[in-house]
A and B are shown apart, each in its own frame.
Chain A
Amino acid sequence: MTALNASGWRPEMNAGGADDSATFTGNRALMLEEPLIFEIGSTETTGVDFDSVVIGRPQVGNLYRDDPIGLPGLSEGETVRHYTRLSRQNYAIDLGLFPLGSCTMKHNPRLNEKVARMPGFADIHPLQPQETVQGALAVINELAIWLIKLTGMHGVAMTPKAGAHGELCGILCIKAALEARGEDRRVLLVPESAHGTNPATAAFAGFRVEDIPATPEGRVDLEALKARLGPDVAGVMITNPNTCGLFERDMKAISDAVHAAGGYVYCDGANFNAIVGKVRPGDLGVDAMHINLHKTFSTPHGGGGPGSGPVVLSEALAPFGPIPYAARYADGSFKLVEEESAGAEHPDTFGRMTAFHGQMGMFTRALTYMLSHGADGLKQVAEDAVLNANYILRSLDDVLEAPFGGSGPCMHEALFTDNGLAEGFSTLDIAKGIIDEGYHPMTVYFPLVVHGAMLIEPTETESKAVLDQFIGALRSVALRAKQGDPALKSAPHFAPRARLDETRAARNPILSWSEPAVAPGEPSLSELGGS
């Protein structure tokens, strides 16, 4: 196969934009357009050399892969340039404030990266003899102890691969516990303000989901919850602090009521960063809570993952937690409790939920972060995160509606609505406008319980000067939206792309690249969308 597109990126493909500069390449100085690897690479090109070349056909009979695969290669230099150019089209926490509510974009310390890459952690196999990985098992155990002490819980399941996987782990523990009691409770109560993963997880594990109503103050309605409890209710899934950025004041009373009715309390710990070192969920009657190591404990989000979602468990649920786990023995050695030893050491386990031992590469990073902060530093993390969020709340509540601002302080994130914007202007316009100011937008249209939600989470790693500038920028954009500035409707103007046509993408999905129908050198407009 020859080059898929010998002429490379064609300037015509960038033509037609109203604000296009008239450069030959379509580039604008440091803003560089980059074609797909399929348009610049060739199946003959490679960026890897080998020490030997194998002569002769592999001994695989008629399974030999004769037909072309269609995987283009690039030399090393071209590869570095391709991905470096792509990277520059991304916003990132390394570039500036990333106030995505509930997602907790805080600084990712680079010591974490260095430690995770130590060969003793990065280059060990999950099935090595256990005597050769005692340090790795010690890391898992040490991190587990930190998580247990920080939450005041009884045990922790370390294997879940992300937050939603942790939710699944907690819900399976509840299922197993109910089964052990011989009870078949089918309903999980989930507030409307919950992350979408909560109802999805409950359904994935075979539960029926029912809403819990909220009070006008944005919290769980305790009386309504009590009224719904009964022998068919397996438990509740409650986010605390919740997705409106508020602490559930009645958490202990909720737990007591659920327990009295024979159910269990799952807490979505996505917002644990607001209370780490200040409040222990174990003191509030929680039975299971996942902790997003990629949120509270600073492991990188990497453009969508990987995450890591250990689940702390109460005494009631710990016996049902998954295998494998790392146990410490009296002689100081560590051992994995796997299928073989589970019968003797962890007989009630619900089983295995992933192939190996969890996200080791995230464990090393999170433990590094915890050791760096210590118990005192983590307490300061929560306090500064809450301080920063309240500073934003009170600096903007004169220009944006803060639906629950009147009821008191928020926790780690500040919630606003789109009430009061000019006719035809919405939260989306504010979000796109703030992009032009050099920021990633806040979380928008979540939680669902207020109109046109804007959820702003600054985190503790932002300085006052950064917050002041952001507040000024958001104030300016909000005022433009209130005054109906038409330029806001077409924002962003200065990003690598203008608003993208998501309807078109969904209506006629193009999910992989295929060679253009027309010959190279004769680009047509239809190529732009590939339709």
Chain B
Amino acid sequence: MRYLPLIADDRSAMLATIGAATIDDLFVDVPAEARLDGPIADLPAHASELAVERHMGALARRNRAAGDGPFFLGAGAYRHHVPASVDHLIQRGEFLTAYTPYQPEIAQGTLQMLFEFQTQVARLFGTDVANASMYDGSTACWEAIVMARRITRRGKALLSTGLHPHYRSVARTMAKYTGDTLVDADPELVPGTDWADLAAAVDKDVSCVVVQYPDILGRIDDMSALASACQAAGALLIAVVTEPVALGVIKSPGEMGADIVVGEGQSIGVGLQFGGPYVGLFACKAKYVRQMPGRLCGETVDANGKRGFVLTLSTREQHIRREKATSNICTNSGLCALAFSIHMTLLGEAGLRGLASINHAGAHVAASRLADVPGVSVLNNGYFNEFTLLLPREARPVVHELAERDILGGVSLGRLYPGNAALANGLVVAVTETTTEADVAAFAAALKEVLA
């Protein structure tokens, strides 16, 4: 077996040192009736690298890769070009095969990277501090709601109807068992957000208001007034960003007064990967830092006075505080945070703004081409790189008919909100720098054909 270095002579010599006759003597604490005699039946035996690669390759070929043709999906996961150096660097063994940096003297590479990542995320979001990552945007969103409960000692959260329905589902699952109250509903197919309604509804029982920006239908809005309303009521404003590239064009939530900003970092450096692993971003105002979940990297000095970095404020965390911790999170998404950070370093501010402008401009061109298809209109007034099309019939079957023509034409609201007939004709379409003019033309032509 190519991964196991011991040979028979080693095993014999080691057993002799231990003072055991056979390997099974080492499993003596396992009750005999629970011990298996041979390898588990009906599972295959070991296989060569070549054979395994063939098997997995065949499975991979049964998927239509996004890059194989026109592709317009978003709704929480975005296809962007990832520079070659990103994947090369994250595969360096010293990053790939390191553990959580518990021994800082020999983990400065990971720690400095995390310090840089935290700073990048905080600046992108317009906040004071960010942590060293969460699992993904959806779990970061729930952790933010829990954090707001801890800070305000109130148990009622208002969720904008524009919040990603899966993020909302995660929150609903958890709230069912924690006793938190959530006020939530499906969105309506209108051009604007529900933020003015939320500002009117926030009161002294509310711990937080959660808005997504851009929202699930691609809409963007100014959250300053909502932030003021929250502040007046003693509630926190939580902003969720599922497409961080947008913040190269539009104002950050922090600049508009959000208290906690969480997000999905997948679109920078990570890739689609069928939904995971992704990287949850978590940032907030400095005054709330001791209530944050997850790991934090901080600057300090070593015994010789040299600058160095360590994991810090760990008295918030489960390995110290156990049942009194701010969260149960342990493993986070370090390697994806590294990919995010490298990609962001390659972009720099100039590159990020350029990338965001191309996405935005491309989306406008695509929206106008698609709105030329008879019966099709664009819902949004404003958007970044994603918008909602209103089709003359149910969007869900249209998506399948487009797929038959090898066009992956967006995410139907029927998939996201099954059973809500009022939303059934909506189709969420995302455009990035990877989308070509030919892709848009092919999409428009196929849509016209399917709808005819």
Distance from B169 Cβ to chain A, minimum over Cβ atoms (Å): 4
- A131 in the interface (beta carbon within 8 A): yes
Contact between A86 and B350, CB atoms less than 8 A apart: no
- B25 in the interface (beta carbon within 8 A): yes
Q: Which of B17, B63, B109, B120 contacts A71 (CB 8 A)?
A: B120
- A2 in the interface (beta carbon within 8 A): no
Given contacts A146-B43, A301-B334, A391-B18, 5 further A-B contacts (CB under 8 A): A69-B247, A69-B349, A93-B93, A129-B408, A512-B130
Contact with A along B404-419 (1 / 0, CB 8 A): 0000100100011011
In whole angstroms, what is the CA distance A243 to B397 when docked? 52
Contact between A83 and B108, CB atoms less than 8 A apart: no
Contact between A361 and B53, CB atoms less than 8 A apart: no
Known: A74-B348, A79-B346, A204-B328. Contact between A512 and B119, CB under 8 A? yes
Closest to B283 in A: A512
Known: A73-B351, A209-B323. Contact between A409 and B28, CB under 8 A? yes
Known: A92-B96, A355-B136, A464-B6. Contact between A73 and B348, CB under 8 A? yes
Q: Which of A133, A146, A280, A384 contacts B36 (CB 8 A)?
A: A280
Q: List 30 A-B contacts (CB under 8 A).
A: A46-B350, A51-B433, A54-B354, A58-B249, A71-B352, A121-B60, A126-B77, A135-B60, A199-B322, A200-B323, A204-B178, A205-B178, A247-B30, A280-B36, A284-B34, A301-B334, A303-B100, A304-B335, A305-B135, A351-B176, A355-B136, A355-B166, A356-B166, A362-B276, A375-B45, A379-B40, A390-B20, A440-B103, A464-B6, A500-B104
Which A residues lie within 8 Å of B312 (CB)? 502, 505-506, 509, 511
In whole angstroms, what is the CA distance A384 to B8 when docked? 11
Closest to B304 in A: A17
Contact between A124 and B66, CB atoms less than 8 A apart: yes
Distance from B36 Cβ to chain A, minimum over Cβ atoms (Å): 6
Q: Which of A64, A103, A128 contacts B251 (CB 8 A)?
A: A64
Distance from A452 Cβ to chain B, minimum over Cβ atoms (Å): 16
Known: A206-B177, A249-B31. Contact between A359 and B104, CB under 8 A? no
- B162 in the interface (beta carbon within 8 A): no
In whole angstroms, what is the CA distance A113 to B103 when docked? 26
Closest to A118 in B: B60
Which A residues lie within 8 Å of B36 (CB)? 277-280, 379
- A185 in the interface (beta carbon within 8 A): no
Which A residues lie within 8 Å of B57 (CB)? 115, 118
In whole angstroms, what is the CA distance A205 to B209 when docked? 22
- B83 in the interface (beta carbon within 8 A): yes
Known: A340-B418, A360-B274, A374-B47. Contact between A38 and B116, CB under 8 A? yes
Known: A124-B274, A126-B274. Contact between A506 and B298, CB under 8 A? yes
Contact between A132 and B101, CB atoms less than 8 A apart: no
Distance from A284 Cβ to chain B, minimum over Cβ atoms (Å): 6
Q: Which of B173, B329, B338, B364 contacts A302 (CB 8 A)?
A: B338
Q: Which of A58, A111, A120, A466 contacts B61 (CB 8 A)?
A: A120
Contact between A512 and B307, CB atoms less than 8 A apart: no
| Count of CB-CB pairs between chains A and B under 8 Å | 742
Q: Which of A64, A203, A303, A500 contacts B324 (CB 8 A)?
A: A203
Contact between B25 and A361, CB atoms less than 8 A apart: no
Closest to A48 in B: B351
Q: Scan residues 464-521 of chain A and give those whose CB is less than 8 A from a CB of chain B.
A: 464, 466, 490, 492, 495-502, 504-506, 509-513
Contact between B23 and A115, CB atoms less than 8 A apart: no
Number of interface residues of A (CB under 8 A): 216
Interface centre among A14, A360, A361 (most CB of B within 10 A): A361
Contact between B304 and A498, CB atoms less than 8 A apart: yes
Contact between A511 and B277, CB atoms less than 8 A apart: no
Q: Scan residues 1-46 of chain B and give those whose CB is less than 8 A from a CB of chain A.
A: 1-6, 10-11, 13-15, 17-20, 23, 25-31, 33-36, 38-46
Contact between A125 and B350, CB atoms less than 8 A apart: no
Contact between A47 and B351, CB atoms less than 8 A apart: yes
Distance from A99 Cβ to chain B, minimum over Cβ atoms (Å): 11
Contact with B along A383-418 (1 / 0, CB 8 A): 110111011011100000000000011010000000
Contact between A306 and B135, CB atoms less than 8 A apart: yes
- B372 in the interface (beta carbon within 8 A): no
Which A residues lie within 8 Å of B71 (CB)? 125
Contact between B173 and A172, CB atoms less than 8 A apart: yes
Which A residues lie within 8 Å of B95 (CB)? 83, 87, 90, 92, 302-303
Contact between A201 and B328, CB atoms less than 8 A apart: yes
Contact with B along A239-267 (1 / 0, CB 8 A): 00000001101011000000000000000
Q: Which of A70, A111, A384 contacts B53 (CB 8 A)?
A: A111
In whole angstroms, what is the CA distance A388 to B56 when docked? 31
Contact between B34 and A283, CB atoms less than 8 A apart: yes
Contact between B301 and A500, CB atoms less than 8 A apart: yes
Q: Which of A72, A100, A123 contacts B345 (CB 8 A)?
A: A72
Contact between A360 and B83, CB atoms less than 8 A apart: no
Known: A200-B321, A504-B300. Contact between A387 and B53, CB under 8 A? no
Contact between A355 and B318, CB atoms less than 8 A apart: no
Which B residues lie within 8 Å of A300 (CB)? 96-97, 335
- B129 in the interface (beta carbon within 8 A): yes
Contact between B17 and A394, CB atoms less than 8 A apart: yes
Contact between B327 and A304, CB atoms less than 8 A apart: no
In whole angstroms, what is the CA distance A376 to B327 when docked? 39
In whole angstroms, what is the CA distance A312 to B83 when docked? 38
In whole angstroms, what is the CA distance A83 to B105 when docked? 17
Q: Scan residues 343-369 of chain A and give those whose CB is less than 8 A from a CB of chain B.
A: 350-362, 364, 367-368
Contact between B328 and A528, CB atoms less than 8 A apart: no
Q: Scan residues 199-250 of chain A and give those whose CB is less than 8 A from a CB of chain B.
A: 199-206, 209, 246-247, 249
- A37 in the interface (beta carbon within 8 A): yes
- A451 in the interface (beta carbon within 8 A): no
In whole angstroms, what is the CA distance A164 to B322 when docked? 12
7 nearest A-B residue pairs (beta carbon): A73-B348, A356-B275, A302-B335, A120-B60, A94-B93, A135-B62, A17-B304
